[in-house]
Structure 1
Amino acid sequence: MSQKVYDMLEARGYIAQVSHEELRDKLNNEKITFYLGIDMTGDSLTAGHFQTLMALKHLQEAGHKLILLIGGGTTLVPDPTGKNEMRQIMSPETIQKNAEGIMKQMEKFFQFGGEDGAIMVNNADWLTKLNYIDFLRTYGPYFSINRMLNMETYATRLDHGLTLLEFNYLPMQSYDFLHLYREYNCVMQCGGTDQWSNLLGGVDLIRRIENGQAYALTFNLLTTADGTKMGKSVAGAVWLDGERTSPYEFYQYWRNVEDVSVEMLLKRLTTKSLDEIAELTREGGQALNHAKEVLAWELTQMIHGVEEADKAKAASRALFSGQGALDDAPTSRMPDAIGREWLDILVELGLIQTKSEGRRLMKQNGLSLNDAKLTDPYAVAAEADFRQGYALLRKGKKVYHKVTLL
């Protein structure tokens, strides 16, 4: 087991907040059980989850026991964190379907099975069996309403309305930690900085109920240089599900990140050593494009496999530097394209959200068809546009899409 995993996480820029400084020594020199809770609000994880999963991967590889908590119970009670209005209440059937999709993606990051393998638990197994009156009488006295109202999670919602349903989320998540502490000797919960109050609720409940020592650890958000959260492209969220974000689109997202973020992303999203990363990012300018290719390939092969990563890399080079073939570029078959306005086709492909956006891009010379600027908002697809067997659309400098008739 690595003796310095906390120091490594710190050096790579993961750690944002820690409840007790003694956790450094505990993670560096002992084996502990820790957990991450994920609510089943969607059937796929996004690029925004990538950093947290990699941090957990480092902890598991250092010998610590990972529990992945599927929030089948807490998802029934919407989390108010970071929202101006109540989240959609989901059916148990939808939650189960989402859990199945996310569990498959988790297997790409973590080792399961065996004494040291990660385990998955579903908090629906215990939360749905609680008696509400008993729960309130037993645990309610340990949660101060005044304190909860001062937490950012709730304070930011007061002007927009906060329901009793949402107010139960913190006690339920805190009870999760207490349950795992009792059943698995789990002593640390991890999460994003937006979950800090929820994490501390569990630490405090364990201290007050069991007189036990537990810890909270949060990771920095993955942001661009201007502070914008990463994980979204022009087409929306960047999903780990290849059906929702193709391997090529996934590759291109990371290949096109801003220069100043490359070193940070290599540190937080890959397992390359700090020395390797320093060498890759030592020079800027054109030389940094190689580092971007390494980043994009590493992440794509982790999620979609080596073959898809190689194909995405080849397609990217074909589009941007004339190397390789266009066979693996994102492609849509549209037998009915002839005679349709190109703006309608662009909307259908998701390259633009509305025709108004397309007209604005045309005025800025931001749309191209087969390397010629697309400037007529009423232009229709003609057979001549498919002379090569396909029409190649481009938005800006970096977003390409092939359209075929057959």
Structure 2
Amino acid sequence: MNIIDELDWRGAINQQTDAEGLKKLTEEKSIGLYAGIDPTGDSMHIGHLIPFMILKRFQEMGHKPVIVIGGGTGSIGDPSGKKAERVLQTMDQVKHNEEALTKQMLKFFGNENFRIVNNRDWLSKISLLDFLRDYGKLFNVNNMLAKEVVASRLEVGISFTEFTYQILQSVDFLHLYKNEDVQLQIGGGDQWGNITAGTDLIHRMEGQEAKVFGLTIPLLLKADGTKFGKSEGGNIWLDPEKTSPYEFYQFWFNQDDRDVLKFLKYFTFLDQDEINELADKIQTAPEKREAQRRLAQEVTKFVHGEKAVQEAENISAALFSGDVQNLTASEIEQGFKNMPSVDITNQKENIVLWLVDTTKIEPSRRQAREDVQNGAIRINGEKITDLEAEIDPNERFDGKFVIVRRGKKKYFLARVK
């Protein structure tokens, strides 16, 4: 299947500058294409992932993606999607973010048929006079004001700095066309004005016969009408230090039946036959959540690797069954991250005193004795009914944790300090 047909089936195309021309070109040859990301943070979140999944699909079909880390544009600020001016970052912050994002991209794309470039390398070499004479002269202010990204900011105001962003992004496309054989730019729907400004600049400077194209991706909405990409706790990050692989897995596993088919098409590389089979299972056996499980497995594997999928599923099974004894310290760190926790020493102590005085899990010694005798307390997965039992924090999980379950569902984590 042609890559454009594939994207169309997946619902991943919003706008194209020349649909027929792009499809024909991708059938004739391997093309260069790019998407950019400004280093405004040191990790991408899942909202950023969408255009790069599209680049990955092109790469899988033999095309040559280029990723532009916006060291130049990132120091200016993209007005897209913002109601006010961005706070400019220090150059040290920008550099740190560039390095972090580069590592993430290399993990996803490898080194074959793929390049990462930084637009500071060419934008920083353009003098102010050259910028105005060579590029500014080719942009009509009336047309720039009409672009949605600028028009949406006129009421509250926009600085000249952010106003020029679309020129800089256009220069990026021109540079990549001339030096990296790039003919297609991909971005979110809010980038349409910037992308078309780039194709226009190339046609003015290189001639109307230049084969350059733009493609945008639809705004991804959930079935309830809210924007995809966030949970109640905020962004779902690709950096495992910001969002653990277990939390990442659970985010995908907990998707609504109404959304999971769409997300399978967007975020996995499963073929049409397998996705259609999963679509049938959503209808016939939704309680098994097989489509959600497959989605969680595939996206977690893409971002964090196969080992992370296994760890996430181990944690999920242990928390569901209560059998936490075989979890590793790393799995406990992930699975119990958001559960009530307390810091303790590694000293042994009687269970009743430990539950009341040391951890304050129980409100009183009477209640602690009652819960222990009734079998309501499990320590590291083992039911404790002996009032004389001792808690030894060094006994399990590399001496780092003690897991307490009170009743059927209430978990507590004691961290040994």
What's the TM-score, normalizing by structure 1?
Answer: 0.82
- The one-character-per-residue Cα deviations of 1:280-304 (angstroms, maximum 9, x if unpaired) are 2203343551111111111112222
- Tell me how far apart the structure 1 counterparts of residues 298 and 69 of structure 2 sit (CA, whole Å): 27
Is 2:79 the counterpart of 1:94? no
- Tell me how far apart the structure 2 counterparts of residues 310 and 171 of structure 1 sit (CA, whole Å): 46
- Does the CA contact (< 8 Å) of 2:246 and 2:312 recur in 1? yes
- Tell me how far apart the structure 1 counterparts of residues 219 and 65 of structure 2 sit (CA, whole Å): 21
Q: Give the gaps of 5 or more residues in structure 1.
A: 338-379
Equivalent in the alignment of 1:155: 151
Spell out the pairing of 1:4-403 with structure 2 (5 A cutoff).
4-21=2-19, 22-113=21-112, 117-211=113-207, 212-284=210-282, 285-287=285-287, 289-320=289-320, 327=327, 328=331, 330-332=335-337, 334-335=342-343, 381-382=361-362, 384=368, 388=379, 389-391=402-404, 402-403=412-413
- Does the CA contact (< 8 Å) of 2:403 and 2:411 recur in 1? no
- Tell me how far apart the structure 2 counterparts of residues 112 and 401 of structure 1 sit (CA, whole Å): 44
Q: Give the gaps of 5 or more residues in structure 2.
A: 346-359, 372-376, 380-401
**Displacement of 1:310 after TM fit?**
0.9
Partner AA of 2:221 in structure 1: T
Change (3 A) 1:238 1:143: same
**Displacement of 1:324 after TM fit?**
7.3
**Displacement of 1:222 after TM fit?**
2.7
- Does the CA contact (< 8 Å) of 2:344 and 2:414 recur in 1? no
Report the RMSD for the aligned CA atoms in angstroms: 2.5
- Tell me how far apart the structure 2 counterparts of residues 140 and 85 of structure 1 sit (CA, whole Å): 24
Partner AA of 2:342 in structure 1: M
- The alignment of Structure 1 onto Structure 2 pairs a total of residues equal to 356
Counterpart secondary structure, 1:281 = helix
**Displacement of 1:331 after TM fit?**
2.3
Partner AA of 2:295 in structure 1: L
- Tell me how far apart the structure 2 counterparts of residues 63 and 387 of structure 1 sit (CA, whole Å): 55
- Does the CA contact (< 8 Å) of 1:40 and 1:75 recur in 2? yes
- The one-character-per-residue Cα deviations of 1:23-55 (angstroms, maximum 9, x if unpaired) are 112123321111111111110011112222221
- Tell me how far apart the structure 1 counterparts of residues 248 and 406 of structure 2 sit (CA, whole Å): 18
- Does the CA contact (< 8 Å) of 2:378 and 2:405 recur in 1? no
- Bigger drift between 306-315 and 38-47 goes to 306-315
**Displacement of 1:103 after TM fit?**
1.3
- Tell me how far apart the structure 2 counterparts of residues 229 and 240 of structure 1 sit (CA, whole Å): 18
Counterpart secondary structure, 2:280 = coil
Partner AA of 1:69 in structure 2: V
The higher radius of gyration belongs to: 2
**Displacement of 1:326 after TM fit?**
8.0
Change (3 A) 1:405 1:91: closer
Matched residues, percent identical? 41
- Tell me how far apart the structure 2 counterparts of residues 323 and 23 of structure 1 sit (CA, whole Å): 54
Counterpart secondary structure, 2:214 = strand
What's the TM-score, normalizing by structure 2?
Answer: 0.79
- Does the CA contact (< 8 Å) of 2:35 and 2:51 recur in 1? no
- Tell me how far apart the structure 1 counterparts of residues 301 and 405 of structure 2 sit (CA, whole Å): 26
- The one-character-per-residue Cα deviations of 1:37-80 (angstroms, maximum 9, x if unpaired) are 11111100111122222211110111111111110000011111
- Tell me how far apart the structure 1 counterparts of residues 255 and 81 of structure 2 sit (CA, whole Å): 25
Change (3 A) 1:286 1:195: same
Counterpart secondary structure, 1:109 = helix
- Tell me how far apart the structure 2 counterparts of residues 91 and 16 of structure 1 sit (CA, whole Å): 35
Partner AA of 2:247 in structure 1: E
- Does the CA contact (< 8 Å) of 1:19 and 1:216 recur in 2? yes
- Tell me how far apart the structure 2 counterparts of residues 201 and 156 of structure 1 sit (CA, whole Å): 17
Change (3 A) 1:58 1:336: same
- Bigger drift between 14-23 and 196-205 goes to 14-23
- Bigger drift between 187-196 and 295-304 goes to 295-304
